Amino acid sequence: MKKTVGVILLTYGLSLAVSTAGAAQKPVEPIAPATGINQAKAELGKKLFFDPRLSKSGFISCNSCHNLSRGGTDNLKTSIGHNWQQGPINSPTVLNSSMNFVQFWDGRAKDLQDQAGGPIANPGEMAFSHDLAEEVLQSIPGYVAEFKNVFGKDRIAIDQVTDALAEFEKTLVTPNSRFDQWLKGDKEALTAEEQAGYTLFQESGCISCHYGMAMGGGSFYKMGMVEEFKANSPSQGRKDVTGKEEHYFMFKVPTLRNVELTSPYFHDGSARTLSQAVDTMARHQLGKKFTQEENGQLVAFLKTLTGEQPSFPLPILPPSSETTPRPKPFE
């Protein structure tokens, strides 16, 4: 294992000092472009992602809370759901979410497809049902034709819906950030301050959890490992899924990619700025207190993680037909 790490480190030109830190056994890697995408399925999924007809109100789409104009988030502490309900938890970014080892903060979905069905049927989010979603889509000739083309069947099923949504989400990777350019050998891509931030990121132990291509998304860790964290959220983390006391307040480590775009931070959205987030992480996870200079270096580094945002024409949705069940926003 050590040898492999060494190869990766050399490949990406990291200093030897890093390889001696235990954390470096889980290296950070540049984001690779999405490959193996079924384009027709992803195109269908893109339409579905933007289609508010998958909600009871006809007003909320996946893109409402995972806004691709805004880093794949809604930039709210917790989301707004059907009838303006306040959600219990901060919406994680959909960008690079294919790299998460499980989905949702508490990991209750094993993959993107498993996740995609959740919000549609959640009474506090889109407040629809899988049956109604199928009925609506089946009544729209443009969708019937497109599902037929992709899946070869006349009947639209929710599994196809979530499959297409997941395929689209797999395309939402953000390669070529300045940090990735630097990792690949462009030594001019980062300033001295930003490089100092990365050194600190490794040596302080941030990298122990925020590793891999997504710099996160690979493990559960307790929020408040060193100092207890009091959250403005009812979530108990992983314990809500397993019921086990030792999983209390274990959350999936979020990706740091595009973190400049995805404020506020943490599962309860309590950190308003990157500076606050760095400070809280240091205190609660590492038992450290960074100087103002160090905090600034880390923030500067984190801002280099903004990659190329997905770019595609705004999808045009097929019109409803006379038989399409109408939305019920006020019932």
- 281 with 254: CB under 8 angstroms? no
Min separation Cβ 299 and its own copies, Å: 9
User: Which residue in the list 29, 43, 125, 228 is annotated as catalytic?
Assistant: 125
Asked if residue 83 binds its own copies (CB under 8 A), the reply is: yes
Q: Which residue has the tokens 């590492």?
A: 286
Token pair belonging to 277: 């987030």
CA separation for the pair 92, 258 (Å, rounded): 12
In the window 273-302, what residues touch its own copies (CB under 8 A)? 273-275
Q: Is 74 or 163 the residue whose CB approaches its own copies more closely?
A: 74
**Coil, strand or helix: which one is 212?**
strand
Among 27, 107, 264, 307, binds its own copies (CB under 8 A): 264
Among 14, 18, 24, 71, binds its own copies (CB under 8 A): 71
Q: Which of 57, 115, 177, 208 binds its own copies (CB under 8 A)?
A: 57
Among 208, 263, 270, 285, binds its own copies (CB under 8 A): 263
CB 267 within 8 A of CB 233: yes
Q: State yes or no: is 125 an active-site residue.
A: yes
Q: Is 51 in the site for its own copies (CB under 8 A)?
A: yes
Q: How far apart are CA 318 and CA 330, in angstroms?
A: 24
Torsion (CA) 9, 92, 103, 312 in degrees, nearest 10: -80
Of 43 and 74, CB closest to its own copies: 74
Which of residues 86, 149, 176, 232 is near its own copies by CB under 8 A? 86
Q: Smallest distance, Å, CB 302 to its own copies?
A: 12
Which listed range, 7-15, 20-28, 68-76, 288-296, lies at the site for its own copies (CB under 8 A)?
A: 68-76
Q: Which of 4, 39, 59, 145 binds its own copies (CB under 8 A)?
A: 59
CB atoms within 10 A of CB 265: 22
**Reduced to 3 states, what is the DSSP secondary structure of residue 134?**
helix
Among the residue ranges 44-52, 145-153, 175-183, 244-252, the one whose residues contact its own copies (CB under 8 A): 44-52
Residue 80 binds its own copies, judged by CB under 8 A: yes
Residues 6+ apart with CB under 8 A from 326: 58, 320
3-state per-residue secondary structure call for 246-305 = HHCCEEECCCCCCHHHCCCECCCCCECCHHHHHHHHHHHHHCCCCCHHHHHHHHHHHHHH
Question: Could you list the active site residues?
Answer: 125
Residues that bind its own copies (CB under 8 A): 50-52, 57-59, 64, 67-71, 74-76, 80, 83-84, 86, 260-261, 263-264, 272-275, 309-317, 319-320, 322, 326-327, 329-330
